[in-house]
């Protein structure tokens, strides 16, 4: 009897884990389906259409996600995570600061051009539950900016033989670069990309960000060579 009682929690834990795994798999499947529909049709896609495409009863969807705003937030989190990983994977481990900047900017601009509906969804959510600057969006920008800050500090240490980066400058440069790209690309997409090609936009943003880095160096009394080759120690996601 004692042995049976002792073993019961382990059996229960095993069932709980299997149920949690099953629940997470259903959530992942639904999110993937929802993102594919939004990518193709835009933010007006309703939950009923998503549920039908995922071959899942709508009632089950609301057991997996609290309401439409909760669902939208999970969709945004998934999109932001995938975009951030793609940008990070595109960064060169060995090259110049300019190479590094160009690789990240090009990946992002090309992704936005290929997935305008997803990009807009990150910013404003669904038509039925619009929300600007969601937690996922803010958190994604902060997280990516923090990693850019670390890269700037690593690049600075290799590009500059003498002289340390003044406190706070790396963070200013990182958030300035991320904010610049975000605002310029948002405006570029809003104009229908009729004025500037993706190639021209990448070139402009690359030069602009390199200019920001050089300006940070001048402020510290140091000339930074953004074209010097270095090993930045970048590892994939």
**How confident is the model over 124-135, as pLDDT tens digits?**
888 888 877 778
Encoding tokens for residue 64?
Answer: 């997996």
The reply to whether 19 and 92 lie within a common domain is no
Which domain-ending residue is among 35, 65, 95? Answer: 65
* 82 and 53 within one domain: no
The answer to whether residue 237 scores a pLDDT higher than 60 is no
Same domain (yes/no): 83, 60: no
Residue 109 CA to residue 131 CA, distance in Å, equals 23
The per-residue DSSP string of 170-204 comes to HHHHHHHHHHHHHHHHHHHHHTTT-SS-HHHHHHH
Is the pLDDT at 157 greater than 80? The verdict is: no
The residue to which tokens 């999109």 are assigned: 79
* pTM of the predicted protein model: 0.83
What CATH number is given to the structural domain containing 43?
1.10.10
Question: Which among 65, 91, 109 is the end of a domain?
Answer: 65
Residue 5 in domain? no
Q: How confident is the model at residue 5 (pLDDT cuts 50, 70, 90)?
A: very low
pLDDT band at 92 (very low <50, low <70, confident <90, very high): low
Task: Give the model's pLDDT for residue 234.
Answer: 60
Q: Do 97 and 28 belong together in one domain?
A: no
HSE at residue 126, side-chain half, CA atoms within 13 A, is: 20
Q: Tell the burial category of 228 from Cβ atoms under 10 Å away from its Cβ (0-12, 13-18, 19+).
A: middle
| Count: domains in the chain | 2
Is residue 138 in a domain? Answer: yes
Average pLDDT over all residues of the chain: 84
Give the whole-angstrom CA distance, residue 47 versus residue 128. Answer: 10
**Claim to verify: residue 94 and residue 178 sit in the same structural domain:** yes
Instruction: Give yes or no: residues 140 and 85 share one domain.
Output: yes
In a domain, residue 152? The reply is: yes
pLDDT digits (tens, 9 = 90+) for 17-57: 776 778 889 999 999 999 999 999 999 999 999 999 999 99
pLDDT(198) > 90: yes
Confidence bin at 1 (pLDDT 50/70/90): very low
| Residue 164 forms part of a structural domain | yes
- The single-letter DSSP state of residue 109 is H
- % of the chain at pLDDT higher than 90: 42
The C-alpha atoms of residue 53 and residue 68 are separated, in whole angstroms, by: 17
Query: Domain holding 117: CATH number?
Result: 1.10.357.10
For the chain, counts of helices (H) and of strands (E): 9, 2
Do residues 224 and 156 share a domain?
A: yes
pLDDT at 235 over 80: no
Share of the chain above pLDDT 70, in %: 84
Q: Which domain holds residue 34?
A: 10-65
């Amino acid at each position: 009897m004692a042995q049976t009682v002792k073993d019961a929690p382990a059996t229960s834990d095993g069932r709980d884990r299997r149920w949690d795994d099953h629940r997470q798999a259903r959530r992942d499947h639904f999110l993937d389906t929802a993102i594919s529909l939004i990518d193709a049709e835009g933010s007006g896609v309703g939950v009923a259409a998503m549920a039908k495409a995922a071959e899942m009863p709508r009632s089950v969807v609301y057991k997996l996600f609290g309401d439409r705003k909760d669902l939208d937030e999970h969709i945004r989190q998934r999109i932001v995570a995938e975009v951030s990983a793609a940008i990070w994977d595109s960064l060169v481990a060995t090259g110049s600061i300019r190479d590094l900047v160009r690789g990240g900017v090009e990946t992002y601009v090309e992704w936005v051009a290929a997935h305008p509906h997803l990009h807009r969804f990150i910013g404003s959510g669904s038509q039925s539950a619009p929300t600007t600057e969601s937690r996922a969006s803010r958190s994604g920008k902060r997280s990516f900016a923090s990693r850019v800050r670390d890269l700037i500090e690593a690049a600075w240490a290799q590009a500059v033989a003498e002289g340390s980066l003044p406190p706070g400058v790396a963070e200013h440069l990182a958030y300035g670069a991320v904010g610049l790209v975000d605002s310029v690309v948002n405006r570029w997409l809003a104009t229908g990309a009729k004025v500037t090609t993706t190639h021209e936009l990448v070139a402009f943003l690359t030069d602009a960000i390199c200019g920001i880095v050089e300006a940070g160096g001048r402020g510290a009394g140091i000339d930074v060579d953004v074209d010097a080759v270095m090993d930045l120690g970048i590892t994939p996601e």
